[in-house]
Copies of this chain bind each other. A is one copy, B any other.
Amino acid sequence: MTTQLSIRPAVLADLSAIVAMLADDPLGATRESPDDLTPYQDAFARITAAPDQHLIVAERENRVVGTLQLSVLPGLSRRGTSRTIIEAVRVHDTERGNGLGTELIRWAVDRSRELGAGLVQLTSDATRTDAHRFYERLGFVPSHIGFKLTL
């Protein structure tokens, strides 16, 4: 049995815990620097200044145990449908397998509806096959190829 979970907007005091989760990941380990928070502080300020960005954390017993970022994109396609994009989903390793990932994504889907979106989208690295099954179980359709160009 797990104790009460709360999902709330991230504050600056959560930053170190969020970055630790970003880094504690096979892909994240190669591209994050949890010992130097400076670049993350700048990015945190940009995110909180942008009304269409929603960076949230899941907290249990005063510990940050999960995070994701939800972005709203207004657009013309599909008769002017706004969409949301889910990025940077992470669950603390002590919480894996207990349904927290599902709670986070369900929160993001519900929040997307409240924000007036008609579509939720995300991309997942092709190597994360467990994640793909997870998103399909939640009703997401793997209809697209995700392309990236590093600048």
CB-nearest residue of chain B to A134: B147
Interface string of A71-82 (1 = CB under 8 A from B): 101111111111
Within 8 A of B (CB), among A132-147: 132, 135-136, 138-147
27 pairs of residues in contact across A and B, judged by CB atoms under 8 Å: A31-B78, A31-B79, A32-B77, A43-B82, A55-B76, A75-B87, A76-B88, A109-B151, A112-B151, A119-B150, A120-B151, A122-B146, A124-B145, A125-B143, A126-B142, A132-B147, A135-B147, A136-B147, A139-B149, A141-B147, A141-B148, A142-B147, A144-B145, A144-B147, A144-B148, A145-B145, A145-B146
**Chain B nearest Cβ from A64, distance in angstroms:** 13
